[in-house]
Amino acid sequence: MATLGLIEYKDASPDVRAVYDDIMATRKTDWVNNFWKAIAHDPVTLKRTWESVKQIMGPGALDPLTKELIYIAVSTAAQCPYCVASHTASARRKGMTQDQFKELMAVIGMASETNKLVTGYQVEIDEQFKNIW
Amino acid sequence: MATLGLIEYKDASPDVRAVYDDIMATRKTDWVNNFWKAIAHDPVTLKRTWESVKQIMGPGALDPLTKELIYIAVSTAAQCPYCVASHTASARRKGMTQDQFKELMAVIGMASETNKLVTGYQVEIDEQFKNIW
Amino acid sequence: MATLGLIEYKDASPDVRAVYDDIMATRKTDWVNNFWKAIAHDPVTLKRTWESVKQIMGPGALDPLTKELIYIAVSTAAQCPYCVASHTASARRKGMTQDQFKELMAVIGMASETNKLVTGYQVEIDEQFKNIW
Amino acid sequence: MATLGLIEYKDASPDVRAVYDDIMATRKTDWVNNFWKAIAHDPVTLKRTWESVKQIMGPGALDPLTKELIYIAVSTAAQCPYCVASHTASARRKGMTQDQFKELMAVIGMASETNKLVTGYQVEIDEQFKNIW
Amino acid sequence: MATLGLIEYKDASPDVRAVYDDIMATRKTDWVNNFWKAIAHDPVTLKRTWESVKQIMGPGALDPLTKELIYIAVSTAAQCPYCVASHTASARRKGMTQDQFKELMAVIGMASETNKLVTGYQVEIDEQFKNIW
Amino acid sequence: MATLGLIEYKDASPDVRAVYDDIMATRKTDWVNNFWKAIAHDPVTLKRTWESVKQIMGPGALDPLTKELIYIAVSTAAQCPYCVASHTASARRKGMTQDQFKELMAVIGMASETNKLVTGYQVEIDEQFKNIW
């Protein structure tokens, strides 16, 4: 179980509730997942993390679904089961199809394989990759 | 330098050349990057890896640029400098803008931060994440 | 469950018991945690690991609590749930407060985020960082 | 070299300069390291990251040097050479002695070893570690 | 549970069954483990992955048991509990003794420790390691 | 360069020299690689690490070359360039052929790919893997 336990809405202080309310309003859901309830013991981290997530994951030069796919990729590469589960669910809510999920997995797997071949064969960076803009 | 050295086109066997030719034709370039030249010492791995990459990174349910962004995400999470450099260059060739690159970085950074908060706070997976399809 | 099972005190050989006794005496507890019982199948590894842990984690230029915080940081970065749980408990026994735990988590999260930004933006080491002593 | 290059002070926009100024003032130095110059291409990320770092790394329940040690631990565990170099230098400026550095390294190494033994021996979390507060 | 669920033999399409049949025939077993059932939702990935595994893990310049030990080492270093469990079982079927398992663990632990000491002490590669063939 | 610099034989204290002598005698070489010179600033860590390496990497239930292959696998998975270079050289000295090296790389790559597929597809451990001895 979570190190410090989970803070439920009914037990939350006003500043924590304000973040929970914003999470639910932003996501158009009526519940808050365990991650936020676990870090709510530190209201400063809760607020900073939520505001960063909200800012970063919103629409921009990349669409929100693409950002979720990237989040899953990082979480899978980092071997974080909770993060994989929660962001796969998020991507689903944002419209990820099963075919997209399967291709995402194939790319992650392929990248992980070539990452290690590169490291094991001690490959040096090509000059052509050094000034690309 | 690469553990077994790099095999240049002029020194390559016919089966290695065939892969190099296909890489250049597929990518519409006239050169082959060091990764392939380093693993060309093992023609079976070269061929299998290239065919997998070609199959996986082509168009499908996800577009090729999105796949490159995912590749960069995995390579960054895995701390592979060569892979970051080469796939950032690939994404650039496929049309990645600087704004897209910056948002990609922000998402990768954010995901890495929350990955560790999840692990450190020992957060358990919500029931709601367990049957999403 | 543990690959080779757990060796309980009553079933342990004299040399394994000697290590268990020293663990309990050093930690002023009356039980031994699963890690040691799992690796006790290899008495040489058990003894070497315990002696190294005992030597390294004792008082020195860094105090024992600081060392536990570092241990948690490494274990969190490495995504090892058992290690996070056991060393969070150890840190607690050595006096870690909830406020210290929360700051520890914030630092770990922050470091993980900037680690990836550095890698993704391909930042080169400043000359000023090369001769600091 | 950095993917988008480095933005020097003289070439920076006013909002980037404001961050650079705050970095130098906070750290009592007259230069800014490459990390900030590399991410300055994204002023939003620059500002958010610096403000988070400033907030998190300042004095609190843990002292600033301890926080640097934790930062080094995470960066070493994550295999980020730039981050190891820059935060070792930061820790040095904040008073880290060579003896503290050596003990830090010993703890990081030890933790990494036992992390893997835990995973490889498939050790389950002790009940005693589940409710520690 | 698995993101897309598991595809059992009786529910599988003919091409998936063909892979399952080959897995069982190759391994001389009458069951297929969850990994294959989980990725069978993507028959292309299933087939490509199985064919690669079959080709790579068979006899060659390294014997099949040595390859399983290497697989366990990578999976342990990558903190993948499923992979550790499944390949420890595979190694066992291929004749791994308990003494071999224990030595494998000791090497993995040792390597992980020195990996981090190298990174933390910022050790540069010796010239002698650069041209070894 | 190494954080604390390298301690050359001529500048070493008697206890450091004793370790250097044992390294050279054990390996039948006339030089010591940078790793040991970098950590020699901490003679206790130098001695403990060398004695552990010597004990673990010697002949036993696994032969010394197999142990080097495992060391390379861990170091590659952990993305440690120095460790990959040094242990590839060690394996070479102990008789690793190019064909063995290539198969090693293929196994490492394959394991890394399936590690991530397992994590991304959230595969649960089969009951059959839980009691294998």
Per-residue model confidence (pLDDT) at position E1: 79
Token digits of residue E26: 């190759």
Low-confidence ranges of chain B (pLDDT < 70): none
Maximum C-alpha span of chain A = 58
**Cβ atoms of F71 and E111 closer than 8 Å:** yes
Helix (H, G, I), strand (E, B) or coil at A31: coil
**Is it the case that residue C131 has pLDDT exceeding 90?**
no
- Which residues in chain B have their CB less than 8 angstroms from residue C108's CB? 116-117, 120
CA distance C41 to chain E (A): 8
Per-residue model confidence (pLDDT) at position E73: 98
Residues A49-64, mean pLDDT to the nearest whole number: 96
Q: Residue A60 has what DSSP assignment?
A: S
Estimate the share of chain C in helix, then strand, then coil, as percent rounded to the nearest 5.
70, 0, 30
pLDDT band at A1 (very low <50, low <70, confident <90, very high): confident
Q: Residue C126 has what DSSP assignment?
A: P
Per-residue model confidence (pLDDT) at position F63: 96
Q: At what angle do helices C81-93 and D98-120 cross, to 10 degrees?
A: 130
Contact E3 B131 (CB under 8 A): no
Which stretches of B28-80 are DSSP H helices?
Answer: 34-39, 43-57, 64-77
CA separation for the pair D1, C115 (Å, rounded):
16
* End-to-end C-alpha distance for chain E, whole angstroms: 47
Contact C102 A45 (CB under 8 A): yes
Overall residue count recorded for chain B in this entry: 133
Contact B45 F105 (CB under 8 A): yes
Cβ atoms within 10 A of the Cβ of B122, count?
Answer: 20
CA separation for the pair B129, E1 (Å, rounded):
10
Token digits of residue F67: 């142990």
Q: What is the pTM of this model?
A: 0.98
Cβ atoms within 10 A of the Cβ of F97, count?
Answer: 13
- Which residues in chain A have their CB less than 8 angstroms from residue F79's CB? 115, 119
Per-residue model confidence (pLDDT) at position E66: 98
Per-residue model confidence (pLDDT) at position F70: 98
Q: How far is CA F124 from CA D59, E3, F110, in A?
A: 43, 10, 20
Residues A94-115, mean pLDDT to the nearest whole number: 98
pLDDT band at D1 (very low <50, low <70, confident <90, very high): confident
What single letter denotes the amino acid at residue B13? S
Contact E74 F69 (CB under 8 A): no
Per-residue model confidence (pLDDT) at position C1: 78
Those residues whose C-beta lies under 8 Å from the C-beta of residue C129, and which sit 6 or more positions away, are D33, D85, D86, D88, D89
Per-residue model confidence (pLDDT) at position C48: 97
Cα dihedral D52→D54→D56→D60 (10° resolution): -150
Per-residue model confidence (pLDDT) at position F131: 87
Those residues whose C-beta lies under 8 Å from the C-beta of residue A72, and which sit 6 or more positions away, are A84, A87, A88, A91, A104, A108, F120
Instruction: Encode A31-42: b = buried (16+ Cβ within 10 Å), e = exposed.
Output: ebbbbbbbbbbb
Those residues whose C-beta lies under 8 Å from the C-beta of residue C100, and which sit 6 or more positions away, are C69, D61, D62
Neighbours of chain C (3+ CB pairs under 8 A): A, B, D, E, F
Instruction: Encode F56-70: b = buried (16+ Cβ within 10 Å), e = exposed.
Output: bbeebebeebbbbbb
Q: Report chain D residues touching chain B, CB-CB < 8 A.
A: 3-4, 39, 41-42, 44-45, 49, 74, 78-80
Q: C40 phi and psi, to 5 degrees?
A: -65, -15
Per-residue model confidence (pLDDT) at position D131: 87
Which stretches of E1-133 are DSSP H helices?
Answer: 14-27, 34-39, 43-57, 64-77, 81-93, 98-120
Overall residue count recorded for chain D in this entry: 133
Contact F105 A122 (CB under 8 A): no
Query: How many CA within 13 A on the CB side of residue C79?
Result: 26
pLDDT band at D80 (very low <50, low <70, confident <90, very high): very high
* End-to-end C-alpha distance for chain F, whole angstroms: 47
**Cβ atoms of C42 and C51 closer than 8 Å:** no
Residues C63-83, mean pLDDT to the nearest whole number: 97
**Is it the case that residue E23 has pLDDT exceeding 90?**
yes
Per-residue model confidence (pLDDT) at position B32: 98
What single letter denotes the amino acid at residue E11? D
Q: Kindly state the percentage of chain E with pLDDT values over 70.
A: 100
Q: Hey, what long-range contacts does D126-131 have (CB within 8 A, 24 or more apart)? A: D126/C33, D126/C34, D126/C85, D126/C86, D128/C31, D128/C33, D128/C89, D129/C33, D129/C85, D129/C86, D129/C88, D129/C89, D130/A1, D130/C85, D131/A1
Q: Report chain B residues touching chain F, CB-CB < 8 A.
A: 3-4, 39, 41-42, 44-45, 49, 74, 78-80
Of the candidates E3, E44, E78, the beta carbon closest to that of A79 is on: E78
Per-residue model confidence (pLDDT) at position E64: 97
Q: How far is CA A46 from CA A38, B125, C88, D35, E133, in A?
A: 9, 18, 20, 26, 54
Residues A17-39, mean pLDDT to the nearest whole number: 97
Contact C130 F4 (CB under 8 A): no
**Is it the case that residue E22 has pLDDT exceeding 90?**
yes
Contact D116 E104 (CB under 8 A): no
Per-residue model confidence (pLDDT) at position D45: 98
Token digits of residue D23: 């970095």
Per-residue model confidence (pLDDT) at position A109: 98
Q: Return the residue of A nearest to C100 by Cα.
A: A42
Residue from E53, E62, E97, E100 to probe the interface with F (highest F Cβ count within 10 Å): E62
Q: At what angle do helices D98-120 and D64-77 cross, to 10 degrees?
A: 40
Token digits of residue D11: 């070439």
Q: What is the mean pLDDT of chain A?
A: 97
**Cβ atoms of F32 and F8 closer than 8 Å:** no
Closest C-alpha among E47, E34, E74, B125 to residue F123: E34
Per-residue model confidence (pLDDT) at position F5: 97
CA separation for the pair B55, C25 (Å, rounded):
60
Per-residue model confidence (pLDDT) at position A131: 87
Q: Report chain F residues touching chain B, CB-CB < 8 A.
A: 79, 88, 98, 101-102, 105-106, 109, 116
pLDDT band at F1 (very low <50, low <70, confident <90, very high): confident
Q: How far is CA C52 from CA C70, C84, D111, D114, F48, in A?
A: 16, 19, 11, 11, 8
**Is it the case that residue D64 has pLDDT exceeding 90?**
yes
Overall residue count recorded for chain C in this entry: 133
Q: Residue B31 has what DSSP assignment?
A: -
CA separation for the pair D99, E110 (Å, rounded):
23
**Cβ atoms of E129 and F88 closer than 8 Å:** yes
DSSP state letters, F28-89: T-S---HHHHHHTTSHHHHHHHHHHHHHHHSSSSS-HHHHHHHHHHHHHHTT-HHHHHHHHH
- Which residues in chain A have their CB less than 8 angstroms from residue C106's CB? 42, 44-45
ipTM of the complex: 0.97
Q: Kindly state the percentage of chain F with pLDDT values over 70.
A: 100
**Is it the case that residue E131 has pLDDT exceeding 90?**
no
**Cβ atoms of A86 and B114 closer than 8 Å:** no
pLDDT digit string, tens, across residues F69-112:
999 999 999 999 999 999 999 999 999 999 999 999 999 999 99
Cα dihedral E84→A92→B131→A87 (10° resolution): 40
The phi-psi region of residue C66 (left if phi > 0; otherwise alpha if psi is between -120 and 50; otherwise beta) is: alpha
